[in-house]
Amino acid sequence: MVKLLDGKKLSQKMNVQMKQDVAALATQGIIPGLAVILVGDDAASHIYVRNKKRRAEKLGIRSVIEELPVTTTETELLQLIDQYNRDPEIDGILVQLPLPAQIDPWHVLLAIDPHKDVDGFSPVNMGKLWSGRPDVIACTPLGIMKLLAANGIDVAGMDALVIGRSTIVGRPMAGLLVNADATVTIAHTKTNDVKAIARRSDLIVAACGVAHFITADDVKPGAVVVDVGMDRLPDGKLTGDVDFEHVKDVASAITPVPGGVGPMTITMLMNQTIQLAKGRAQRE
Ligand SMILES: NC(=O)C1=CN([C@@H]2O[C@H](COP(=O)(O)OP(=O)(O)OC[C@H]3O[C@@H](n4cnc5c(N)ncnc54)[C@H](OP(=O)(O)O)[C@@H]3O)[C@@H](O)[C@H]2O)C=CC1
Ligand SMILES: Nc1nc(=O)c2c([nH]1)NC[C@@H]1CN(c3ccc(C(=O)N[C@@H](CCC(=O)O)C(=O)O)cc3)C=[N+]21
Ligand SMILES: [Mg+2]
């Protein structure tokens, strides 16, 4: 029987502790503050923004959401980031990726104060992760590690395949896995026969953004399959990078979409915002 890696259930469990943490901060007069900046109209970003607004309200975290037009200039965005860098009531800043073509994401990542970089994407935090000294960690990969651990899955010694090399998922995912003693392959569009690598992997993390890219034929019996994708089928239905209906008969454990990685991403974002607010409480 396949084990369902239920991110919704684990998130609900973690909400209890997070509520207590927020209440403890409130007695010190501190409300965790999160600034979210969304430029343009990426579909997956909109799902994310809607769900985290809801979750922040439930937990008592103050979230400020800036939705900027697709024509926003890099200068305008950098000015807004600078405003939140200096705002003492904002603990975490998150700029949604991808950004429109006129904005260089590297300039944006350099502009975010690493102490407020709740996504862990800034070069300082990414460098710490790859130096084996993680600080603030990218929320999606961190949520995946928590979900695996909570289900008794130890990645040490596993042959792991990460499909995708983005700043949001692929790169930090690979860093976390190697820190946890997995042997990691990172695949991308120039990879020669990713499916052959998938078939010999003990763990597959699919984050390529291609609906049902991984099918049952690509999975070794008993492998663990994590689906990061937030994709649309031709009929408009939300689905993942994995053909869940068939892969579930081959894998030993699998994440559903929705209800797997997505809720954990939000849980990690909330938790890291709370942790950053605790840092503020200590300084004050
Ligand atoms: N559930 C959640 O919490 C989250 C979900 N997502 C979803 O995860 C997916 C990936 O997101 P993100 O990393 O931002 O996407 P990007 O588009 O930034 O990156 C996709 C990566 O996949 C690689 N890739 C694309 N097609 C193939 C292929 N056929 N074979 C091998 N590699 C391929 C690309 O390679 P190359 O570099 O060569 O172009 C690239 O590195 C999306 O569906 C997104 O919506 C994202 C973040 C969080
Ligand atoms: N700087 C930055 N950081 C990100 O972490 C980031 C980003 N930019 N850009 C967009 C992607 C996408 N992403 C999602 C997170 C949660 C859900 C989520 O809540 N998913 C629910 C969906 C349920 C529903 O349909 O509402 C689920 O999987 O169950 C979706 C997508 C984070 N991303
Ligand atoms: Mg079946």
Q: Residue 155: give its domain's CATH number.
A: 3.40.50.720
pLDDT tens sequence across 3-36: 999 999 999 999 999 999 999 999 999 999 999 9
Task: Give the pLDDT score at 66.
Answer: 96
Residue 249 exposed, middle or buried by CB count within 10 Å (0-12, 13-18, 19+): exposed
Do 164 and 95 fall into the same domain? no
Residue 268 belongs to some domain of the structure = no
Task: Give the pLDDT score at 102.
Answer: 98
Do 94 and 166 fall into the same domain? no
pLDDT tens sequence across 218-245: 999 999 999 999 999 999 999 999 999 9
Q: Which amino acid is at 271?
A: N
Do 175 and 239 fall into the same domain? yes
> Ligand 1 atom 24: the closest Cα is on which residue?
208
- Ligand 2 neighbour 118 (Cβ under 6 A): no
- Ligand 2 neighbour 51 (Cβ under 6 A): yes
- Ligand 2 neighbour 96 (Cβ under 6 A): yes
List the chain residues with pLDDT less than 50: none
What is the rounded average pLDDT for all residues in the chain? Answer: 97
DSSP string, 135-152: SS--HHHHHHHHHHHHTT
Do 155 and 47 fall into the same domain? no
**Run of H or E including 91:** none
Residues with Cβ within 8 Å of residue 237, at least 6 apart in sequence: none
Do 169 and 97 fall into the same domain? no
C-alpha pair distances (Å), 163 with each of 116, 187, 207, 259: 28, 5, 5, 20
Do 157 and 252 fall into the same domain? yes
Task: Give the pLDDT score at 284.
Answer: 85
- Ligand 2 neighbour 167 (Cβ under 6 A): no
Q: CB of 276 within 8 A of CB of 32?
A: yes
Structural domain tally of the chain?
A: 2
Q: Which of 116, 265, 266 to mutate to test the pocket of ligand 2 (most atoms within 8 A of CB)?
A: 265
Residue 94 belongs to some domain of the structure = yes
What's the CATH number where 105 sits?
Answer: 3.40.50.10860
Helices H / strands E in the chain, number of each = 10, 11
Domain span holding position 68: 29-116
This model of the complex carries an ipTM of 0.98
Between CA 33 and CA 93 the distance in angstroms is: 9
Given the CA of residue 261, which atom of ligand 2 is nearest to it?
A: 28
Task: Give the pLDDT score at 263.
Answer: 98
Do 157 and 78 fall into the same domain? no
Between CA 146 and CA 136 the distance in angstroms is: 15
CA 25–ligand 3 middle distance (angstroms) = 47
Residues labelled catalytic: 52, 96, 119
Long-range CB pairs of 187-192, under 8 A, 24+ apart, other chains included: 187/161, 187/162, 187/163, 188/163, 188/164
225 DSSP β-pair partners: 204, 254
Do 164 and 206 fall into the same domain? yes
Q: Which of 228, 232, 237, 238 to mutate to test the pocket of ligand 1 (most atoms within 8 A of CB)?
A: 228
